[in-house]
């Protein structure tokens, strides 16, 4: 009689997709690396093939430190013309590869590196799959003096925006700005939504990744890693 296997934990699913992403890394090139707990698993796996790549472009100070600690060279984004692949997680992803990102506050740099890459490989566990974006509070990086004005614009859309706090003070991003987290939205047209919010004065980056959507998603499930191509 075989003992039934215990379901994989969320942490184990993250490890699986982090390792699966290695197949998208092009030997001899520079890889774009995102930010977050799932990406940390990818960075750890990337150490096993660090001698086969030139290095990485990183989307956050935290990822840069982790890469360097493992002996992987990190290049300034300005010195790299393009990347074959960018590998990052998401807070939500829908059936078309549109995402919400920024739970880790690195959305601006993530979007910059994603825009440099020919392919965005999203690595997530199946809890991140949604029918429509908006269940996860939408992160929006803003210039502090515009925060109240932008919050009023979201209120007119039916959303509630609050400044993200850390240790009793507004969180300051790697870029020296603040983040609004917007609850209560249902984003049915991510491309149009991203384009509109991008135009608002004081918005640095909105955490909808529609213009920089995923080309591939590696999703950790109870049945193993599923691959979705968009």
Q: Name the nearest CA neighbour of 221 among 128, 88, 154.
A: 128
> What's the CA gap between 172 and 111, in Å, rounded?
18
Q: Which position among 110, 126, 131, 196 bears the catalytic label?
A: 110
Sheet holding 203-206, edge to edge: 160-163, 178-183, 138-142, 203-206
- Is 91 annotated in some ligand binding site? yes
- Is 48 annotated in some ligand binding site? no
- Is 28 annotated in some ligand binding site? no
- Is 35 annotated in some ligand binding site? yes
Find how far residue 50's CA is from the centre of its chain.
Answer: 22
| φ, ψ of residue 16 in degrees (nearest 5) | -60, -50
With contact defined as beta carbons under 8 Å apart, do 142 and 150 qualify? yes
- Is 55 annotated in some ligand binding site? no
Q: Angle 40-43-45 (CA atoms, 0-180°, nearest 5)?
A: 110
- Is 38 annotated in some ligand binding site? yes
- Is 88 annotated in some ligand binding site? yes
- Is 128 annotated in some ligand binding site? yes
Neighbours of 74 (CB within 10 A): 17
C-alpha torsion 15→19→21→25, nearest 10? 140
H-run or E-run covering 224 = strand 224-229
Q: Active site includes 110? A: yes
- Is 104 annotated in some ligand binding site? yes
Binding-site residues from annotation for substrate: 35-38, 88-91, 101-104, 128
Which are the catalytic amino acids?
A: 110
Binding-site residues from annotation: 35-38, 88-91, 101-104, 128
């Amino acid at each position: 009689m075989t003992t039934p296997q215990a379901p994989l934990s969320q942490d184990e699913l993250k490890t699986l997709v982090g390792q699966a992403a290695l197949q998208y890394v092009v030997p001899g090139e520079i890889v774009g690396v995102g930010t977050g707990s799932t990406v940390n698993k990818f960075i750890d796996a990337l150490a096993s093939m660090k001698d086969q790549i030139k290095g990485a472009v990183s989307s956050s100070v935290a990822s840069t430190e982790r890469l360097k600690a493992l002996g992987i060279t990190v290049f300034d984004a300005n010195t790299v013309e393009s990347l074959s692949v960018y590998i990052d997680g998401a807070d939500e992803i829908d059936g078309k590869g549109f995402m919400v990102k920024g739970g880790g506050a690195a959305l601006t740099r993530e979007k910059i590196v994603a825009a440099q890459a020919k392919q965005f490989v999203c690595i997530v566990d199946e809890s991140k799959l949604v029918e429509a974006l908006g269940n996860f509070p939408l992160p929006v990086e803003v210039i502090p003096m515009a925060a109240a004005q932008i919050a009023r614009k979201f209120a007119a859309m039916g959303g509630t925006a609050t400044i993200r706090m850390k240790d009793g003070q507004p969180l300051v991003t790697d870029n020296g700005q603040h983040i609004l987290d917007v609850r209560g939205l249902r984003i049915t047209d991510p491309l149009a939504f991203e384009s509109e919010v991008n135009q608002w004065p004081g918005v640095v980056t909105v955490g909808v990744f529609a213009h920089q959507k995923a080309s591939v998603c590696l999703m950790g499930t109870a049945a193993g890693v599923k691959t979705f191509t968009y």
